[in-house]
Amino acid sequence: RKISLTGIKPTGTPHLGNYVGAIRPALELTKTYDTVYFIADYHALTTVQNGAEMRANIYKVAATWLALGLNPEESLFYKQSDIPEIFELSWALSCFTPKGFMNRAHAYKAKVEANTAAGVDVDSNVNMGLYCYPCLMDADILMFSADIVPVGKDQKQHVEFARDIAIKFNKHFGEDVFTVPEPVFQESTGVIPGLDGRKMSKSYDNYIDIFLEPKALKKRLGKIVTNSQGIEEPKDPDTCNVFKLYKLFATPEQTEALAARYRAGGMGWGHAKQELQNVLEEHLGAAREKYFYLLDHTDEIEKILAYGKERARAKAKVMMDRVRHLLGTY
């Protein structure tokens, strides 16, 4: 079977963008692929630099995957920092990566542009972890011979770097050491919008956590930005942030039915938000209980991660033996 691999950074509580962009498609692939899913904690270290916060975030990401149905027997599930071979491979790959690639990486470029606009030094607040971030992602992906990487569209460039480096490395040594990975994302879902319509993201504070309790969820959904049309006016579903989120969870029939109510008029924003809440509850209500159970039983999470660590390291060692042999360091 082919291999599907993806990771989530523990930068906070996972949100609906993470769920629809990565977790849901990744879990669907467990039927047809061998799956490798992990917690990218050393990627989060570029911004999360407090031990207690990091630890809590790691548990949240682990509990999210598990609550949503990841089966640790079926999928290889581990945390990145438990696999030292990944960091060794990252260094080796960085020596085959043109610096220009990193200059062009989206996250770094965005910082440079923001700094330029603010009139401060271009590299202000840029640590080397952020700059070299794509090299670590290359190692994550190539170590486990991923064929496909289900991600949100924002990660496409990173997976393309991994492709380029795999091809370059294989060519250099004249061997197919690394599988050339393919990013997969659903055109239909695209970039999941947040409360304000921009990409849902921690950094914009416009996200909706996956497992909010009903009351807190209602409050959060209340913040979704809508226009000022009154109840009676007919509304355009396609430009509405509430509807864009609704259709990611609703059946095609439900989606059509709500679209018709938009167009007919007589439906206010409060009603639309209530419909969104209902469909979210239907999808995620049961998993929420499991999520909070796991957060209360972190020893169970630890056990699962220890099991994944053992299995992942065994695979990583085989790959690193091969790489070190080629490099002449072994």
d(CA 83, CA 312): 7
Report whether 317 belongs to an annotated binding site.
no
Report whether 143 belongs to an annotated binding site.
no
> What is the closest distance, in whole angstroms, from the C-beta atom of residue 188 to ligand TYM in the complex?
12
Report whether 206 belongs to an annotated binding site.
no
Residue labelled with tokens 């999210």: 64
DSSP class of 221? H
**Does 200 participate in binding ligand TYM (rule CB under 6 A)?**
yes
3-class secondary-structure state, position 136: helix
List, in order, residues 6 or more apart from 119 with CB less than 8 Å away: none
> What is the closest distance, in whole angstroms, from the C-beta atom of residue 282 to ligand TYM in the complex?
21
Report whether 171 belongs to an annotated binding site.
no
> What is the closest distance, in whole angstroms, from the C-beta atom of residue 141 to ligand TYM in the complex?
5
Residue ranges in 140-199 that form contacts with ligand TYM under rule CB under 6 A: 140-141, 149, 151-152, 154-155, 158, 191-192, 199
**Does 41 participate in binding ligand TYM (rule CB under 6 A)?**
no
Selected from 6, 90, 97, 206, the binder of ligand TYM by CB under 6 A is 6
**Does 9 participate in binding ligand TYM (rule CB under 6 A)?**
yes
Q: What are phi and psi of 15, to 5 degrees?
A: -115, 175
d(CA 237, CA 243): 6
d(CA 278, CA 274): 6
> What is the closest distance, in whole angstroms, from the C-beta atom of residue 250 to ligand TYM in the complex?
17
**Among residues 39 and 267, whose Cβ is nearest to ligand TYM?**
39
7 CB-side CA count, 13 A: 26
User: In 3D, which of 6, 312, 1 has the Cα closest to residue 149?
Assistant: 6
d(CA 189, CA 20): 8
> What is the closest distance, in whole angstroms, from the C-beta atom of residue 15 to ligand TYM in the complex?
7
**Among residues 197 and 268, whose Cβ is nearest to ligand TYM?**
197
CB atoms within 10 A of CB 53: 14
**Among residues 3 and 301, whose Cβ is nearest to ligand TYM?**
3
d(CA 4, CA 150): 7
**Among residues 9 and 235, whose Cβ is nearest to ligand TYM?**
9
Cβ 83 vs Cβ 313: under 8 Å: yes
CB atoms within 10 A of CB 59: 18
Task: State the binding string over 101-140 for ligand TYM (x if CB under 6 A, else -).
Answer: ------------------------------------x--x
Give the tokens for residue 184: 């997969």
Selected from 3, 22, 70, 132, the binder of ligand TYM by CB under 6 A is 22
Report whether 224 belongs to an annotated binding site.
no
Residue labelled with tokens 């065994």: 314
Which residues belong to the annotated binding site for ATP? 9-11, 17-18, 152-154, 192, 199-203
Residues at the interface with ligand TYM (CB under 6 A): 6-9, 17-18, 21-22, 40, 43, 137, 140-141, 149, 151-152, 154-155, 158, 191-192, 199-201
